[in-house]
Structure 1
Amino acid sequence: MKLQSQLNLAFTTLLLVILTAAGFVIYSMILDMLIEDERAELKQKGELLVEVLNEQYESQPGTKGFRNFLQKQDLQLFLYDRRQDRVLFSTMPDRYVQGFSSNQYFADNRENLWDAGSSKFVTSRILFYPESTGLELILLTPLNDLQAIQQDFFRRLVLVFIIGTIAAVLLSYFLTNKLVTPLTKLKRQLKKIEKRKFDQLEPIKATGEIKEVEQSVYDMAAELERYMKSQQTFFQNASHELKTPLMTIQGYAEGIRDKVFDEADQEKGLEMMVTEVERLKKIINEMILLAKLDSDQTTYHPEEIHAQELIDQVLDRALPIVNENSVALNHEVNSQVYFTADAEKFLQALLNLTFNAIRHAHTKVDITVSKQMITIEDDGEGISKELLPHIFHRFVKGKTGETGLGLAIARAIIEQSGGKIMVSDSDLGGAKFIIILPK
């Protein structure tokens, strides 16, 4: 069943349950309200009759005048003498008088709903004044009349409920259609993403949470497209980087096999082959490491690292390349700073960044550690604006770069440690790498 049908069915069911419950409550309350209203109306009429009778027949003792006056009223009533416990006058048949008397209704002042066979009556009792006369006027209304009003009112109520239900269902269909239509359109866009037709994605009109979902879907599509392009670029670059040393090795190997080199060139060729094999081995190892870091297959052992000890290890391992490039490696470390990360992997990330800075520096590299931030900057030529947005991508390297994987590995390790890495222009003139780690 489609979502729109489910929503309409759920809304209609809920509406019917509410209307049924409301109708039952209203139906049961209507009769009570009618009885109370009728009793109040009877009391008002009775009080008016008693007042008229007391005024007109105040000077005429007896009930004869009462009877003549009451006979003319189009009412169902009794004139009852409480002292003698008998009905003096009635506008109703004698069978009702006998039935009410046998049920002791006249003597019981508390009973307001009288039964007479299959008929019921709503009553109201009004005393004449002074009360010493013992006369009481009892007015009655058949309950059937009130029930007829109840039925008529309920029929109209049901008609209103039916019309309201139809209107509510139509409104529900309109609103759910307005809600579901963007989802249907969004489903079509997801199908395009599934088929990798990123250039055919179209915006949809939506509001609220659906608009947020739409934006998330488009962000996901953009990221997926970028990832796919990066993968394509990765394989292209990887094949190029692997092809170059392999071609060199193949060329020298075939020359040695065919004996086209003299002894000196053969020695040179063997040395070149060993160099290219080492380079090829380094590229492959870094590609494997980067793949493991991206897929979270490596074992990560976070521990507390003293910043001073970490930088000392970096300086010790960077000493040979510092001497080779005649670069000054300066450092400033807050001895109170500690980091939480995998010590071995984090050291490798810092070495990749430091070696990269040393290769590009003219005269010096500065390493600064303060609180949860590490900066590594050099006075080299810096990073071009075209290369800056892609500097952490695989096989992206500058003029003196080696494999183009060092910065990508550093970023993967730092992000795996819960931190982030940024790059900007340094005041020294070169590049400035900033590492921020969580507390």
Structure 2
Amino acid sequence: MKLQFQLNAAFTALLIVIMTVTGFVIYSLILELLIQDEHRQLEQKGELLVNILNKEYRSDPSIQEISAFLREQDLQMFMYDHHNQHVLFSTMPSEVIQGFLSNNHIENSDELWEYGKNKYVSSKILFYPPNSGLELILLTPLKDLQAVQQNFFVRLLIVFLIGAMAAVILSYFLTNKLVTPLTRLKRQLKKIEKRQFDDIERIKASGEIKEVEQSVFEMASELQRYMRSQQTFFQNASHELKTPLMTIQGYAEGIRDGIFDKEDRERGLEIMVSEVNRLKKIINEMILLAKLDSEQTIYQKNEISAKNLINQVMDRTLPLVNEREITLHHDVDDTITFVGDEEKLLRALLNLTINGIRHANTQVYITVKTENKRKVIMIEDDGKGISEDVLPHLFHRFVKGKGGETGLGLAIARAIVEQSGGSITVGDSSLGGAKFIVTFFM
């Protein structure tokens, strides 16, 4: 069943339950209100009649005169003499009056009197003076009130039905407005499934659906970028692997066929060994990068001292620093610690530092500090900086700057930093070269 029908069915079922409960409560309450109102009206009419009788027939009126007056009122009533326990006048059948007497309703204060299967709302009014023992009793059949109750309920039911129809129609339009963007979003997801990224269209929506649509669009863009990067990665990887393999193949075939003399053979063997080592390094870094992207279990997180981490970077890069005759400075806040895999975070910082040493003219600075509730590691050099055409793609795989080796070092550094919960950016340094900034939120 489609979502729109499910929502409409659920809303309709809920509406029916609410209307049923409400109707039952109102139906029961109406009869109670009608009985109370009828009892009050009978009491008011009875008091009015008694007052008139007391005024008009004050001087020893005859029962015939009183009866004639009361019959003109067109009411169901009777007059009872408590002293003689006798009905003096009645507009109701005698068997009904006898039924009331046998049920002892007159002596009790019941509001509802019964005779057979019929019930009556009653009101008793004493004549003045009270010691006269005369009492006027007015009655209304309960079935008359039930008829009013049913008539009112029928009208209420009609109103409920009209309201329910209007609510269901409104629900249909609202759910249609809700479901239509989801249906369109489903079509766009099908396009993503078929990798038709250029055909994806934005959807007009609001609220949470708009947020989902935005997330789907961003996911599609990221997926497209990832697929393109993977395609570029395989193209670059094949090129990077093909070059040393062709070199090795060329020298191997030349040595096999005896084309080279002894000196060229020795030089060819050295080149073959160098290319094998380069090939091995590329493959190892590709394997590491694949593991960093896919295997979370290789990260063993623990607390790392910033001071110890930078000291290890200084020790590992010392031979290259001496070879390049570079001065490596460091300024570290000893109180700062990181949470991550120490070995891999060291690998990332080594890649960034070695990159700075290779491109520096005279000096490289490593700074570790806190800034705006963030832990920041900055590695900057005084070299020529990064060219504008390389800068946007610097952390992509097999993107090499001038003097680069495999083009995977910075990609590995970014993968490690991001998996450790940080971010890495690059920009221009005040020293004139590049500045890598690694940021961890506190």
TM over 0.5: yes
2: CA distance between counterparts of 1:59 and 1:376? 122
The 8 Å contact of residues 46 and 126 in structure 1, kept in 2 or not, is answered as yes
Mean CA deviation greater in 354-363 or 250-259: 250-259
* 1:177 correspondence with 2:176: yes
The 8 Å contact of residues 100 and 115 in structure 1, kept in 2 or not, is answered as yes
The 8 Å contact of residues 79 and 136 in structure 2, kept in 1 or not, is answered as yes
Q: Which residue of 1 aligns with 2:379?
A: 376
Q: Which residue of 1 aligns with 2:403?
A: 400
The 8 Å contact of residues 292 and 298 in structure 2, kept in 1 or not, is answered as no
> How much has 1:438 moved relative to structure 2?
4.3
SS in 2 for 1:36: helix
> How much has 1:85 moved relative to structure 2?
2.2
Query: Structure 2 regions of 5+ residues with no counterpart?
Result: none
Q: Which residue of 1 aligns with 2:48?
A: 48
> How much has 1:237 moved relative to structure 2?
0.7
1: CA distance between counterparts of 2:306 and 2:218? 38
| 1:186-210 per-position Cα deviation (integer Å, ceiling 9, x unaligned) | 1111101100001111122211111
Mean CA deviation greater in 12-21 or 352-361: 12-21
SS in 2 for 1:437: strand
Q: Which residue of 2 aligns with 1:198?
A: 197
> How many pairs align?
438
Q: Which residue of 2 aligns with 1:229?
A: 228
1: CA distance between counterparts of 2:424 and 2:114? 92
Which aligned pairs between 1:394-433 and structure 2 lie closer than 5 A? Answer: 394-433=397-436
| 1:284-339 per-position Cα deviation (integer Å, ceiling 9, x unaligned) | 00000010010125522223322222222212211221122221111122233332
> How much has 1:62 moved relative to structure 2?
5.2
SS in 1 for 2:298: coil
2: CA distance between counterparts of 1:362 and 1:55? 127
Q: Which residue of 2 aligns with 1:261?
A: 260
> How much has 1:11 moved relative to structure 2?
1.0
2: CA distance between counterparts of 1:318 and 1:273? 27
1: CA distance between counterparts of 2:48 and 2:110? 22
Q: Which residue of 2 aligns with 1:107?
A: 107
Which aligned pairs between 1:20-59 and structure 2 lie closer than 5 A? Answer: 20-59=20-59
Which aligned pairs between 1:121-160 and structure 2 lie closer than 5 A? Answer: 121-160=120-159
1: CA distance between counterparts of 2:440 and 2:168? 56
2: CA distance between counterparts of 1:132 and 1:429? 120
| 1:84-104 per-position Cα deviation (integer Å, ceiling 9, x unaligned) | 222111111211121111111
Query: Structure 1 regions of 5+ residues with no counterpart?
Result: none
| 1:44-101 per-position Cα deviation (integer Å, ceiling 9, x unaligned) | 1111111111111123355443222112221111111223222111111211121111
1: CA distance between counterparts of 2:163 and 2:305? 73
| Residue type of the alignment partner of 1:14 | L
The 8 Å contact of residues 53 and 66 in structure 2, kept in 1 or not, is answered as yes
TM-score (norm 2): 0.96
The 8 Å contact of residues 85 and 107 in structure 1, kept in 2 or not, is answered as no
> How much has 1:106 moved relative to structure 2?
1.3
1: CA distance between counterparts of 2:194 and 2:337? 48
Which aligned pairs between 1:312-323 and structure 2 lie closer than 5 A? Answer: 312-323=311-322
Give the % identical residues.
67
Q: Which residue of 1 aligns with 2:185?
A: 186
Which aligned pairs between 1:217-296 and structure 2 lie closer than 5 A? Answer: 217-296=216-295
> How much has 1:433 moved relative to structure 2?
0.8
| Residue type of the alignment partner of 1:205 | K
The 8 Å contact of residues 125 and 136 in structure 2, kept in 1 or not, is answered as yes
